[in-house]
Amino acid sequence: MTESDSARPLLQASLSLAASLLEAVDAESSLRAFMRVCSETLGAEGCVFLPFDEFSAALPPLTFGRVPAFDADALSRPAWRQACKVCETRRSGGDCPLLERSPEPGFVRCLPLRSRGREAGLFSFVFSAEPNLDAPVERFLADAAILTALALEAERSQPPHSIPDTGRFQPGALPQAETRVILQERARLAREIHDGLAQTLAFLKIEIGRAENFLAEGDSGQAARILKNSSRTLGDAYLDARQAIENLRRAPDDRLEGWLAQAAENFAALSGLTVETHLQLSHDFPAHVQVQLIRIVQEALTNVRKHARARCVRIAAWEEDGEARIEVQDDGCGFRPADPLAAARFGLRGMRERAESVGAEFQVVARPNGGTVIRLSIPLKATVEP
């Protein structure tokens, strides 16, 4: 079998999975798409998905294809969950709950589903004979798991299509108008995550089609280059979604200084960059003001990760002359703020409009090879209405 012949099924499987994830309507349908495509690609008898406690959707264990009879209650017990977390391949009669009741020898290949840096569940592929999974198949499985995790995270971050206005608020709750602004902002960000994932999958669908054409023509070198670029695109999309979802997790009505500290910690873990913080901010703003300040900082950090080629980032916040001041500074490659293409690429106009909407001053200080500083200043008595 030629390299072209062996690679074609994996390309077709990737395309099939991407199309199925685009059509999925909920977490279960996304998981079942992964189980079906991967089981067929690996030649597995079937697959079981075991959600761990970290998985946010309330799901029982899911099955696809032919799997040995198993005790769903046993799979839900902490001891079995812990055993599954460390499982890779086990024979019937061992500690694997999927195979202990199987009348014939069997094999299991376990693949974790990672979400937000943790294992959220485990896919267990069941084989009647010991599988021989080579390096290209292992890479396919890893990429397919990342793609499915992206789809699940985007689906979980989607808010309801409409925001009900019941007028029922607990004592001490935010004013109705501010609450609506916050929910609408979260809805907008969730749509961005979902739309960004859809665009990435559509692009990968086109690229995989191109790679298939090159393989059919016998040009495996060009196909390999396309797949390498597609893998890089998938990795970038995964980081984008991870950062956007982390941005949504913390409520924008939390204390501003605490949020900035958490944002710095999350960004350091996600990007691998050194992040320094100097936070001396005791003042808090109305929630509709804080949400805009927070999003500007988030966009600045996204730019650092994607474009700056920086090694270190500094986030500072303090009070001076009746104003709150916030800075995000990096030691990266910088750019020319007057360049309209750079301004559009880095979303400077959007950040400026956000700042102006709450009465804040927005400033960019940057030069080629000299790093970038994003500065915000806002009166401590900001009272802009939502």
What's the pLDDT tens digit per position in 145-193? 887 887 777 666 554 443 333 333 343 444 555 555 555 655 555 555 5
Query: Which of these, 323, 291, 324, 311, lies nearest to 371 by C-alpha position?
Result: 311
**What is the chain's alpha carbon radius of gyration, rounded to the nearest angstrom?**
24
Domain definitions of the chain by residue range: 253-386
Strands 107-115 and 62-65, how do they pair?
A: unpaired
Work out the pLDDT band at 311, boundaries 50, 70, 90: very high
Q: What is the b/e burial string over 318-353, where b = at least 16 CB atoms within 10 angstroms of the residue's CB? A: eeeeebbbbbbbbbbbbbebeeeebbeebbbeebbe
Work out the pLDDT band at 3, boundaries 50, 70, 90: very low
Instruction: Tell me which CATH code domain 253-386 carries.
Output: 3.30.565.10
Query: Which of these, 84, 139, 147, 91, lies nearest to 114 by C-alpha position?
Result: 147
More confident residue, 1 or 378: 378
The Cβ of residue 305 has, within 10 Å, a number of other Cβ atoms equal to: 21
Round to whole Å and give the CA distance between 320 and 35: 57
Residue 109 has pLDDT above 80, yes or no: yes
Residue 347 has pLDDT above 90, yes or no: no
Average pLDDT over residues 311-331: 95
Taking phi over 0 as left and psi of -120 to 50 as alpha, with beta for the rest, 65 belongs to left
Query: Which of these, 235, 233, 243, 267, lies nearest to 193 by C-alpha position?
Result: 243
Highest mean pLDDT among 213-217, 231-235, 251-255: 213-217
Strands 107-115 and 372-379, how do they pair?
A: unpaired
Tokens of 292: 């805009």
User: Would you say 126 and 108 are in contact if contact means Cβ atoms under 8 Å apart?
Assistant: yes
The pLDDT value given to residue 360: 94
Tokens of 57: 């959707």
Query: Which of these, 304, 305, 310, lies nearest to 239 by C-alpha position?
Result: 305
What's the pLDDT tens digit per position in 20-61? 776 777 888 889 999 999 999 999 999 988 887 655 555 778
Round to whole Å and give the CA distance between 365 and 371: 8
Give the DSSP per-residue string, 60-94: --EEEE------HHHHHSHHHHHHHHT-S--BTTS
Measured in whole angstroms, the distance separating CA 20 from the mean position of its chain's CA atoms is 18
Question: Please, what is the average pLDDT of the chain?
Answer: 76
What's the pLDDT tens digit per position in 87-96? 555 455 455 6
User: Would you say 285 and 293 are in contact if contact means Cβ atoms under 8 Å apart?
Assistant: yes
The pLDDT value given to residue 166: 37
User: Would you say 377 and 359 are in contact if contact means Cβ atoms under 8 Å apart?
Assistant: no
Tokens of 165: 């206005």
End-to-end CA distance of the chain: 65
Sign of torsion, CA 339 345 351 354? positive
The pLDDT value given to residue 6: 56
The pLDDT value given to residue 172: 43
Phi and psi, residue 26, nearest 5°: -160, 180
Query: Which of these, 76, 106, 69, 66, lies nearest to 89 by C-alpha position?
Result: 106
Helix (H, G, I), strand (E, B) or coil at 127: strand
Name the E strands within 84-222: 107-115, 118-127
Highest mean pLDDT among 118-127, 234-243, 268-277: 268-277
Give the DSSP per-residue string, 261-278: HHHHHHHHHHH--EEEEE
Residue 298 has pLDDT above 80, yes or no: yes
